[in-house]
Amino acid sequence: MNAPPAEAGEVMWLRTGEGLPAAGRREAAILARRVGLSDKRAADLALAVTEAATNLQRHAVDGALALRVTAFDARSAVELLALDSGPGITDLGAALRDGSSTAGTLGVGLGAIRRLADRFAIHTLPGRGTALYAGFDADPAPGPGPDPAAEVGGLTRPISGETQCGDTWAVREEPLGSPHLLAMMCDGLGHGPLAARAADAARLAFRNSRATDPALVLADIHRGLKGTRGAALAVARIDVPTRRVSLCGVGNIATFVLGAESRQTLMSTPGIVGHNVSRTQTFTADLPPGSVLVMHSDGLNSRWQPDQFRGLTAQIPALIAAQLLWQAGTRRDDAGIVVVKVPS
Ligand SMILES: [Mn+2]
């Protein structure tokens, strides 16, 4: 999977409605050109988008496609997410088997999408919805390299009616090449272009900071956000060998260590990064094998519980982020989430 450094990029959201397959194909073609997919792979992507869109259109309560380009570790890809609010797939195994008779149900075409994609993942919640991930790599699959220190994924969605998003995230190694990761989740105040500008400034300051302590990284970002609207923002440091997380957050960013059946909260303190940051506090926690670090903005309702998301922590971070954003997110605010998983 994706190894850091990783950053939120532009995400194209397309909601279910007339013409979703055509709109999805159009967007996919633009992204395929941008990352240099071969004609063959671009056609495969278009086919997968058509299957996913048709599926949503015909069978889902409410749904959306999210398409984006990712470029991690010198490997670029087009990623497709298909998200819906129900009805869920009762027999996922049958739906994924090629040629199985699932006509008339939500699972149509899943086997085809899995076969077409370089990477595929799916998580379904009976009655509540399905999240599907399919990745199409621009370059031939790299040979087996060293295991990445961690897998990272995230997702942002602007408030209804806006195209730019004030929520953003980034993850990178610090120092570079070390098993120490820094992760940032940022919610630029308000929404629209001015919030997006604060988010851009936060990503830049995060990238340029050479500090290792999360409170000092946050202080660097605080300076970088002067003159912007400011943001709620949290920085986590993950020490991979010891599986320890330390977190310094200011304002309303929710941070959790999420296990299969548990959720531990790491607190932030009040304030606005870029405006008023008085006394910060750093909290630490263990990241037990099988658990993931989740950071999200208040565009997601933080009252969600692990038992509502059975099996989700076993999925790839990009799918964990997408399912949580879709199920807990509101359209009345920018929404953003980042998930980091340290392999067992
Ligand atoms: Mn917000």
Rounded to the nearest angstrom, the distance between the alpha carbon of 143 and the centre of ligand 1 is 41
Rounded to the nearest angstrom, the distance between the alpha carbon of 144 and the centre of ligand 1 is 40
At residue 105, the pLDDT reads 56
Residue 135 — left, alpha, or beta (φ > 0 → left; ψ -120 to 50 → alpha)?
beta
User: Looking at this protein, which amino acid is placed at residue 172?
Assistant: R
Rounded to the nearest angstrom, the distance between the alpha carbon of 69 and the centre of ligand 1 is 24
User: Quick check: 167 pLDDT over 80?
Assistant: yes
Least confident segment among 95-104, 145-154, 210-219: 95-104
Rounded to the nearest angstrom, the distance between the alpha carbon of 231 and the centre of ligand 1 is 9
Query: What is residue 218's three-state secondary structure?
Result: helix
Q: pLDDT-based confidence at 58, cuts 50/70/90?
A: confident
CB 339 within 8 A of CB 167: no
Rounded to the nearest angstrom, the distance between the alpha carbon of 158 and the centre of ligand 1 is 10
At residue 106, the pLDDT reads 56
d(CA 308, CA 301): 13
Mean pLDDT across 153-178: 95
Rounded to the nearest angstrom, the distance between the alpha carbon of 336 and the centre of ligand 1 is 9
- Backbone phi, psi, residue 278, to 5°: -90, -90
Beta bridge partners of 173: 181
Rounded to the nearest angstrom, the distance between the alpha carbon of 118 and the centre of ligand 1 is 34
- The CATH superfamily assigned to 151-341 is PPM-type phosphatase domain (3.60.40.10)
At residue 212, the pLDDT reads 96
Rounded to the nearest angstrom, the distance between the alpha carbon of 195 and the centre of ligand 1 is 10
- Backbone phi, psi, residue 195, to 5°: -70, -40
Count of CB atoms situated within 10 Å of the CB of 294: 26
Rounded to the nearest angstrom, the distance between the alpha carbon of 187 and the centre of ligand 1 is 6
Rounded to the nearest angstrom, the distance between the alpha carbon of 335 and the centre of ligand 1 is 7
Count of CB atoms situated within 10 Å of the CB of 88: 17
Rounded to the nearest angstrom, the distance between the alpha carbon of 162 and the centre of ligand 1 is 14
Q: What is the dihedral of CA 171, 175, 178, 184, to 10 degrees?
A: -20
At residue 17, the pLDDT reads 86
Count of CB atoms situated within 10 Å of the CB of 341: 23
d(CA 250, CA 209): 17
For 31-35, the CB contacts below 8 A with 24+ separation are: 31/67, 31/68, 31/69, 31/78, 32/78, 32/136, 34/69, 35/69, 35/71, 35/76, 35/77, 35/78, 35/138
Rounded to the nearest angstrom, the distance between the alpha carbon of 88 and the centre of ligand 1 is 29
Rounded to the nearest angstrom, the distance between the alpha carbon of 230 and the centre of ligand 1 is 12
At residue 4, the pLDDT reads 61
For a pLDDT cut of 70, what percent of the chain falls above it? 92
Rounded to the nearest angstrom, the distance between the alpha carbon of 327 and the centre of ligand 1 is 16
Rounded to the nearest angstrom, the distance between the alpha carbon of 250 and the centre of ligand 1 is 13
Domain boundaries, the chain: 6-137, 151-341
Rounded to the nearest angstrom, the distance between the alpha carbon of 172 and the centre of ligand 1 is 23
Rounded to the nearest angstrom, the distance between the alpha carbon of 246 and the centre of ligand 1 is 23
- Backbone phi, psi, residue 165, to 5°: -120, 135
Rounded to the nearest angstrom, the distance between the alpha carbon of 7 and the centre of ligand 1 is 19
Number of H helices, E strands in the chain: 7, 16
| Residue whose C-alpha is closest to residue 150's, from 172, 122, 117 | 172
| Residue whose C-alpha is closest to residue 256's, from 224, 291, 229 | 291
Q: pLDDT-based confidence at 2, cuts 50/70/90?
A: very low
Rounded to the nearest angstrom, the distance between the alpha carbon of 30 and the centre of ligand 1 is 30
Architecture of domain 6-137: 2-Layer Sandwich (3.30)
At residue 107, the pLDDT reads 62
| Crossing angle for the helix pair 214-224 and 193-208, to the nearest 10 degrees | 130
Rounded to the nearest angstrom, the distance between the alpha carbon of 298 and the centre of ligand 1 is 5
Question: What would the pLDDT profile of 184-198 be if each residue is shown by its tens digit?
Answer: 999 999 999 999 999
Rounded to the nearest angstrom, the distance between the alpha carbon of 251 and the centre of ligand 1 is 10
